[in-house]
Amino acid sequence: MRVVLLGPPGAGKGTQAEFIAARLAVPAISTGDIFRANVSGQTELGQKAKVYMDAGDLVPDEITVAMVKDRLAQPDAVNGFLLDGFPRTIAQAEQLAASLAELGHGLDRVLELVVEEEELVRRLSGRRMLVDGEMVQRDDDKPETVRHRLEVYREQTAPLSGFYDDEGLLSRIDAIGAVDEVTARALRALGVDPEGTAPGAAAAGA
């Protein structure tokens, strides 16, 4: 299955992506995680991306799209994937559709995690992640940057909801509630039984 997970910062995309992808037996591909790994590894890509990330802005499409194309060409993503945090602009969505079409593929579904803005601000300002054994706040989770990231989402990413709805691909998921309840709603929207075992589990010997 080829799935995109859409949603504002703080909607729980990363957490849901891991659970949904495990159930579908496809890789969860997070552009934010790939950028952060490149920033920590001080690669050239990371150095370019950091400036935009720290400001809460989007990394330019040409850098992001090339990176995603490389990742989707890897063997584990050939038969399916769950994209978390990509596309984030209409131009990225069009380029994704074009590269999938070249391979004779298309997206099966786009899930949009829906959470109202007050709740997002509350979640983001309290969010911490584990780095080298310590819980730290992401630089781009500082209050001023959070406000800017939400603005960027409204202006550049939210239009994707209408874009994919027009294509008949969009399912909106209420993302308030316990993590496993939200996962179950997302899986049902994909026509997958939340209680079953992962389709790839038997083949993988798990």
Asked if residue 88 binds ligand AMP (CB under 6 A), the reply is yes
Cα dihedral 33/81/198/114 (nearest 10): 70
Q: Does 80 bind ligand AMP (CB under 6 A)?
A: no
Q: Which long-range contacts (CB under 8 A, 24 or more apart) does 173-178 make?
A: 173/111, 173/112, 173/113, 173/114, 174/114, 175/7, 175/11, 175/12, 175/16, 175/113, 175/114, 175/115, 176/115, 176/119
Is 153 a residue that touches ligand AMP (CB under 6 A)? no
User: Of residues 50, 127, 142, 172, which has the active-site annotation?
Assistant: 127
Catalytic residue among 2, 13, 36, 71: 13
Q: Is residue 8 a contact point for ligand AMP (CB under 6 A)? A: no
Out of 21, 24, 39, 58, the residue judged to bind ligand AMP by CB under 6 A: 58
9-28 binders of ligand AMP (CB under 6 A) = 9
Q: Does residue 85 bind ligand AMP (CB under 6 A)? A: yes
Q: Is 53 in the site for ligand AMP (CB under 6 A)?
A: yes
Catalytic (active site) residue 13: yes
Q: Which residues bind ligand AMP (CB under 6 A)?
A: 9, 31-32, 35, 52-53, 56-59, 64, 85-88, 92, 140, 149
Question: Which residue numbers are catalytic?
Answer: 13, 88, 127, 138, 149
